[in-house]
């Protein structure tokens, strides 16, 4: 089955300064997994028109799907729509269908020039519904442009799912190994990974409130194989752990 990938572009100076903690990457990745789409890379970029356009263009060529978040509001720092148009060399203008969406929220006298900016959509794009605050996102070729505010971004995904043609799903199995040192598990863990083709095993140490240990996470596209891997991992934990 086909492997389908996505690239995610998180746009905003506030993410790079540390003022705002991104959560959109995780939300999108977890939403994509059951659709059979794996996130290949994510970039967090500044509110810089050239960088946005270049990144969108490169990701559109490299991944099956691209998701952008941020920069589609009414203020001067909301430049994403223009950058998407520039990336694909198409025009951009205020669109009637987008104005119709805005009118479900705003009275006519509230629709000043700033708010009407949110109806500016690149030529040829289709809208993405925004049930939270109505200003729409949009799809240009394989690029989905969404809001940055997490609750709004999440609400837009409902109007994107049916546009995604997924491939082989990635399944995962997590086996917790309390009191196990990563270094003691490393060799047998690597042996297990080698034994099963198409399976990758990650090893993630944890330190919580006096507890420490490792989570082993096996990922792969064949659920039956992963069941076997899980058995081996559990045996490994019993063998080396102080259980």
Which of 81, 87, 156, 201 is the binder for its own copies (CB under 8 A)? 201
CB closer to its own copies, 103 vs 126:
103
Residues in CB range of 211: below 8 A, 6 or more apart = 178
**Please, what is the minimum distance in Å from the beta carbon of residue 96 to its own copies?**
19
Q: How far is CA 54 from CA 40, 46, 61, 89, 193, in A?
A: 18, 12, 11, 12, 37
Residues in CB range of 37: below 8 A, 6 or more apart = 4, 5, 6, 64, 65, 164, 166, 167
Site size toward its own copies (CB under 8 A) is 66
Which of 3, 186, 223, 243 is the binder for its own copies (CB under 8 A)? 186
Residue ranges in 115-174 that form contacts with its own copies under rule CB under 8 A: 115, 117-118, 149, 151, 170, 172
Q: Interface with its own copies includes 73 (CB under 8 A)?
A: yes
What does the block give as tokens for 42?
Answer: 């994510």
CB closer to its own copies, 90 vs 217:
217
- Give yes or no for a contact between 221 and 198, defined as CB atoms under 8 angstroms apart: yes
> CB neighbours (10 Å) of residue 120?
17
Q: Interface with its own copies includes 107 (CB under 8 A)?
A: no
**Please, what is the minimum distance in Å from the beta carbon of residue 30 to its own copies?**
4
How remote is the C-alpha of 230 from its chain's centroid?
A: 27
CB closer to its own copies, 16 vs 90:
16
**Please, what is the minimum distance in Å from the beta carbon of residue 112 to its own copies?**
6
In angstroms, the CA 182 to CA 203 distance is 7
The single-letter DSSP state of residue 6 is E
Residue ranges in 5-44 that form contacts with its own copies under rule CB under 8 A: 12-23, 25-30, 33, 38-44
**Please, what is the minimum distance in Å from the beta carbon of residue 3 to its own copies?**
13
CB closer to its own copies, 194 vs 231:
194
Which of 96, 104, 183, 211 is the binder for its own copies (CB under 8 A)? 183
What's phi and psi for 31, nearest 5 deg?
-75, -35
Which of 167, 178, 202, 241 is the binder for its own copies (CB under 8 A)? 202
In angstroms, the CA 209 to CA 240 distance is 22
Closest CA to 135 of 72, 85, 69: 72
Write out the residues near its own copies by the rule CB under 8 A.
Answer: 12-23, 25-30, 33, 38-47, 51, 73-77, 106, 110, 112-115, 117-118, 149, 151, 170, 172, 181-187, 189-190, 193, 200-205, 207, 217, 219
């Amino acid at each position: 089955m086909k492997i389908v990938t996505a690239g995610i572009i998180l746009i905003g100076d506030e993410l790079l300064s540390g003022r705002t903690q991104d959560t959109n990457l995780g939300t999108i990745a977890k939403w994509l997994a059951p659709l059979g789409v794996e996130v290949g890379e994510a970039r967090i970029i500044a509110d810089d028109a050239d960088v946005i356009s270049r990144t969108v263009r490169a990701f559109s060529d490299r991944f099956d799907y691209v998701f952008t978040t941020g920069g589609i509001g009414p203020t001067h720092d909301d430049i994403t729509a223009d950058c998407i148009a520039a990336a694909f060399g198409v025009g951009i203008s205020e669109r009637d269908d987008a104005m119709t969406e805005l009118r479900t929220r705003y009275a006519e006298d509230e629709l000043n020039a700033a708010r009407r900016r949110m109806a500016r959509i690149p030529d040829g794009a289709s809208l993405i519904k925004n049930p939270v605050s109505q200003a729409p996102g949009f799809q240009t070729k394989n690029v989905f442009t969404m809001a940055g505010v997490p609750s709004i971004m999440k609400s837009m995904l409902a109007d994107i799912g049916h546009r995604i043609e997924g491939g082989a799903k990635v399944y995962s199995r997590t086996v917790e190994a309390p009191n196990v040192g990563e270094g003691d598990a490393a060799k047998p863990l690597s042996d297990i990974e080698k034994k099963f083709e198409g399976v990758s095993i990650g090893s993630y140490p944890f330190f919580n409130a006096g507890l420490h240990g490792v989570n082993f996470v096996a990922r792969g596209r064949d659920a039956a194989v992963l069941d076997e891997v899980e058995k081996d991992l559990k045996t490994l934990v019993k063998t080396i752990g102080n259980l």
